[in-house]
Structure 1
Amino acid sequence: MSLKLMDKVCIVTGATSGMGKAIAKTFHAQGAKLVLSGRNTERGQSLAKELTNSVFLAGDVSEVEYNEQLVELSIENFGKLDIVSINAGILGLGDVVSLSPSDWHSTLNTNLSAIFYLSKYSIPHLKRSHGTLLINASIAAFKSFPNHPAYCASKAASVALMKQMAVEYAPEVRVNAICPGPVDTPLLWESAKAFDEPEKAIENAEKATLLNRLGTPEDIAKLALFMVSADASWITSTAMTIDGGILNV
């Protein structure tokens, strides 16, 4: 059986942990060549050594120049760009009254502006390759959570931006989003700190899913693989939820 991403060149942000790391490993297993992005140099370099045909660049996706460098690295090392998988994100916890303006801006910059920056530099190359761009959003785009105003706002806006870019750059580029529910990652446990009893909040989220379990990073990676592969060639401008059914509860 042929590999779904054989010789495809992919940028994966947020690749040093959680869902981004699982996506990077899944894409690699399907034949992709990778440009890995993350803040943690040690974890990123270790992953790049583990995955053949991959390079890592440490940096902050909220910085314009860093996103341009990721695209340049893709072209310099592999000669093209086929897929962009955007996963980096932060929470910015606190209600509107208590949240500092700096935390508001840093959350919006990481979760939203970074999508604009990377898309700005990658789309010209994706148009040439008839590639695809996949944004890792969240069910927080559709469902509100206490003490997550910046996160919810950024995720809703990321879905709106996805839909606009899908209209703008069709038919050459497919642009979609995946919207995970509660996935067992460090970010979920950090998110739970917004509640009085964090462990109880995680337990309640698990029980609230129709399938009675948290998602795994690998669950998300399997959907991401489908969305960027030829199997999804007639899917664009779609925000695909993957949440164990929690939005229906």
Structure 2
Amino acid sequence: MTQKLKNKICIITGATSGMGKAIAEKFSSEGANIILSGRNAERGSKLATKLKRSVFLAGDVRDPEYNKALTAAAISNFGGLDILSINAGILGLGNVVDLSIDDWHKTLDTNLSSIFYISKYAIPYLEKNGGNILINASIAAFKSFPNHPAYCASKAASLALMKQMAVEYGPKIRVNAMCPGPVETPLLWDSARAFDNPETAVEKARESTLLKRLGTPEDVAKLALFMVSEDSSWITGTTMTIDGGIINS
């Protein structure tokens, strides 16, 4: 069977858990060489040992120098860069009055500024190879949830940045985004704490999807593979919603 990402060189942020980990596993199975990014050194090192042709670099995506180092690692280990898969994210829970200014900045820096940082350093290499950027956003970009002001704002802004970069760097680079709905990850259960009845919030989300199930990280990984492969070679500046139909419920 033909591997869709054979010999492609990728940076994957947020790779140590949830959707980012599933994307890393999927890309690896399709032949990619991968720089894995995450804060948890134990989980990252374990994943790098499991996957073929992968290197883990621990750090915080809020640090511009760390993003620069991720790009340098792709060049030094594999000789170039083809794909940037951006998945790192945090929630920053609390309403506007209660949310601390520090948590506001931490959420915006993690969910938005880090996209700018890694893209800034990666784009010159992506341009050489006709590469692409895929941002893992959220339906929170256009569907508001209580006690998620920083998260919703950062995800909406990430789509605006995606569209601008698609305009700026086409035709050499394709830039797209995915907007997952309720996917069964630790982040979903953390998000439930923002609702009045956390114990029933996840079940309500499940029942609110038209398909009556939560998404899985593997569901998102399959879409990510499509979006970074040649199967989507005429798609750029686009947001792909993957939410079981909850946005229409």
Pairwise TM-score range, normalised by the shorter structure: over 0.9
Q: Give the match for residue 140 of structure 2.
A: 140
Q: Give the match for residue 245 of structure 2.
A: 245
**Deviating more after overlay: 147-156 vs 192-201:** 192-201
Task: Name the count of aligned residue pairs.
Answer: 249
Moved over 6 A (4+): none
Q: Give the match for residue 28 of structure 2.
A: 28
Aligned-pair identity in percent equals: 71
Letter of the 1:70 counterpart: L
How far off is 1:196 after superposition? 2.2
Question: Which runs of 5 or more structure 2 residues have no equivalent in the other structure?
Answer: none
Return the alpha-carbon distance in structure 2 between the equivalents of residues 197 and 184 of structure 1.
Answer: 18
Return the alpha-carbon distance in structure 1 between the equivalents of residues 232 and 97 of structure 2.
Answer: 42
Return the alpha-carbon distance in structure 1 between the equivalents of residues 128 and 199 of structure 2.
Answer: 47
Where in structure 2 are the equivalents of 1:107-186 lying within 5 Å?
Answer: 107-186=107-186
Secondary structure at the aligned position of 2:10 is classed as strand
Secondary structure at the aligned position of 2:140 is classed as helix
Q: Give the match for residue 84 of structure 1.
A: 84
Q: Give the match for residue 97 of structure 1.
A: 97
**Deviating more after overlay: 178-187 vs 195-204:** 195-204
How far off is 1:199 after superposition? 2.1
Letter of the 1:152 counterpart: C
Q: Does 1:45 align with 2:34?
A: no
Cα deviation 1:37-62 (Å, max 9, x = unaligned): 00000000000000111000000001
Secondary structure at the aligned position of 1:213 is classed as coil
Return the alpha-carbon distance in structure 1 between the equivalents of residues 95 and 210 of structure 2.
Answer: 29
Return the alpha-carbon distance in structure 1 between the equivalents of residues 219 and 62 of structure 2.
Answer: 27
Q: TM-score w.r.t. structure 2 length?
A: 1.00
Return the alpha-carbon distance in structure 1 between the equivalents of residues 162 and 121 of structure 2.
Answer: 15
Q: Give the match for residue 19 of structure 1.
A: 19
Secondary structure at the aligned position of 1:236 is classed as coil
Cα deviation 1:116-175 (Å, max 9, x = unaligned): 000000000000000000000000001000000000000000000000000000000000
Cα deviation 1:202-239 (Å, max 9, x = unaligned): 00000000000000000000000000000000000001
How far off is 1:200 after superposition? 0.3
Return the alpha-carbon distance in structure 1 between the equivalents of residues 32 and 245 of structure 2.
Answer: 31
Return the alpha-carbon distance in structure 2 between the equivalents of residues 208 and 199 of structure 1.
Answer: 15
Return the alpha-carbon distance in structure 2 between the equivalents of residues 212 and 107 of structure 1.
Answer: 30
How far off is 1:195 after superposition? 1.1
Return the alpha-carbon distance in structure 2 between the equivalents of residues 115 and 62 of structure 1.
Answer: 9
Question: Which runs of 5 or more structure 1 residues have no equivalent in the other structure?
Answer: none
Q: Give the match for residue 218 of structure 2.
A: 218
- RMSD (Å), alpha carbons: 0.4
Return the alpha-carbon distance in structure 2 between the equivalents of residues 197 and 37 of structure 1.
Answer: 34
Return the alpha-carbon distance in structure 2 between the equivalents of residues 243 and 196 of structure 1.
Answer: 22
Cα deviation 1:49-100 (Å, max 9, x = unaligned): 0011100000000110000000000000000000000000000000000000
How far off is 1:198 after superposition? 1.2
Return the alpha-carbon distance in structure 1 between the equivalents of residues 157 and 12 of structure 2.
Answer: 20
Letter of the 1:90 counterpart: I
Return the alpha-carbon distance in structure 1 between the equivalents of residues 225 and 197 of structure 2.
Answer: 35
Return the alpha-carbon distance in structure 2 between the equivalents of residues 199 and 67 of structure 1.
Answer: 37
Letter of the 1:190 counterpart: D
Secondary structure at the aligned position of 1:55 is classed as strand
Q: Does 1:228 align with 2:228?
A: yes
Q: TM-score w.r.t. structure 1 length?
A: 1.00
Secondary structure at the aligned position of 2:211 is classed as coil
Letter of the 1:238 counterpart: T
